[in-house]
Amino acid sequence: MTAHDIAPPLLTLRRLDEVEGWFFPADQFVFDWLLTHQYARGIRGDLLELGVYKGKSAILIGYHVMAGEQFTVCDLFDSDDAPDDPTADEMRVYYSTLTRQVFEANYLRFHRRLPTVVQSPSSAITDHVPERSCRFVHIDASHLYHHVRADIAAARHLLAEDGVVSLDDFRSPHTPGVAAATWEAILTAGLKPVMLTESKLYGTWGSPDTLRDALAAHLTTHPTLWGVTEDVAGHTLLRVHSR
């Protein structure tokens, strides 16, 4: 079976719009394309999401979990478990209607079984997921610099060769800490940017060229997205834009 065989039907994707969250069409396309592309090229490994909220991105990732692969999600779910006061404040302002039950009910509207749910600060994730086991890590939890920096270090530890990390909110006005941690990892910690959308930057500690060029070629026939490459600080990355 290939990932294409289990790609979500259009009806399912329409229902994904009914799930509250911050996971936009360009990234829905890139996740779907990337996870399918990895599988088609024999890249196997586990999937991990840090920061699930009500499950919008986790539900799509869940369609790409293949036989023998594990999908783990990590979230605080409750401001009482926040590791510090700024995180508790952020939870109360942005995520006041979040509960683990809401996430699980949403996920089970789309899938028969839940992923492994780790209810804890993302700083504990390396206690739950084996080193070098993952092909994809989505970092979408805290927006604070020191937490995102630690999440990126955890992703590096958990990703297998040619695994990909996706960093949400790497350029939003309200998340300068994510921007700082992202570009710091690129400039000083060996993270190679592959592509970016308005919301997310995708990178690898493996080889970026084949992946970037394959997506660039694919986008030449896409009806609503287009791509252009740009050299930035010694890296060639693909900018993905909507028409």
Ligand X SMILES: C[S@@+](CC[C@H](N)C(=O)[O-])C[C@H]1O[C@@H](n2cnc3c(N)ncnc32)[C@H](O)[C@@H]1O
Listed ranges 90-98, 153-161, 172-180, 187-195: which one lies at the site for ligand X (CB under 6 A): 90-98
129, 140, 152, 179: which one binds ligand X (CB under 6 A): 140
* Residue showing the smallest CB distance to ligand X in the complex: 21
Distance (Å, whole) CA 161 – CA 41: 13
Pairing of strands 200-204, 192-196: antiparallel
- Is 149 among the residues that bind ligand X (CB under 6 A)? no
**Residue from 8, 29, 56, 167 in contact with ligand X (CB under 6 A):** 56
Q: Considering only residues 23, 31, 71, 205, which one is a binding residue for ligand X as defined by CB under 6 A? A: 23
Size of the site for ligand X (CB under 6 A): 22
Q: How far is the CB of 71 from ligand X (least distance, A)?
A: 13
Burial class (CB in 10 A: 0-12, 13-18, 19+), 180: middle
Comparison of 141 and 164: residue with beta carbon closer to ligand X: 141
Residue 87 makes contact with ligand X by CB under 6 A? yes
Candidate list 24, 95, 145, 226; residue touching ligand X; CB under 6 A: 95
Q: Is 86 in the site for ligand X (CB under 6 A)?
A: no
Using the rule CB under 6 A, is 74 a contact of ligand X? Answer: yes
Rank residues 44 and 128 by Cβ distance to ligand X and give the closer one: 128
Cα–Cα distance measured from residue 36 to residue 15, given in angstroms and rounded to the nearest whole number: 21
SS3 content of the chain, % helix, strand, coil (to 5): 40, 25, 35
Residue 20 amino acid letter = E
Question: How many angstroms separate the CA atoms of 29 and 139, rounded?
Answer: 17
Which of 31, 39, 53, 136 is the binder for ligand X (CB under 6 A)? Answer: 53
Q: Give the list of residues 6+ apart from residue 213 with CB closer than 8 angstroms, or none.
A: none
Chain positions 32 to 51 lying near ligand X, rule: CB under 6 A, are: 51
Rounded CA separation 106/110 (Å): 7
| Nearest-angstrom CA–CA distance, 98 and 223 | 35
Residue 175 touching ligand X (CB under 6 A):
no
Dihedral angle over CA of 165, 167, 170, 176, nearest 10: -110
Minimum CB–partner distance for residue 147 and ligand X (Å):
5
Residues that bind ligand X (CB under 6 A): 21-23, 51-53, 56-57, 74-76, 83, 87, 91, 95, 98, 121-122, 140-142, 147
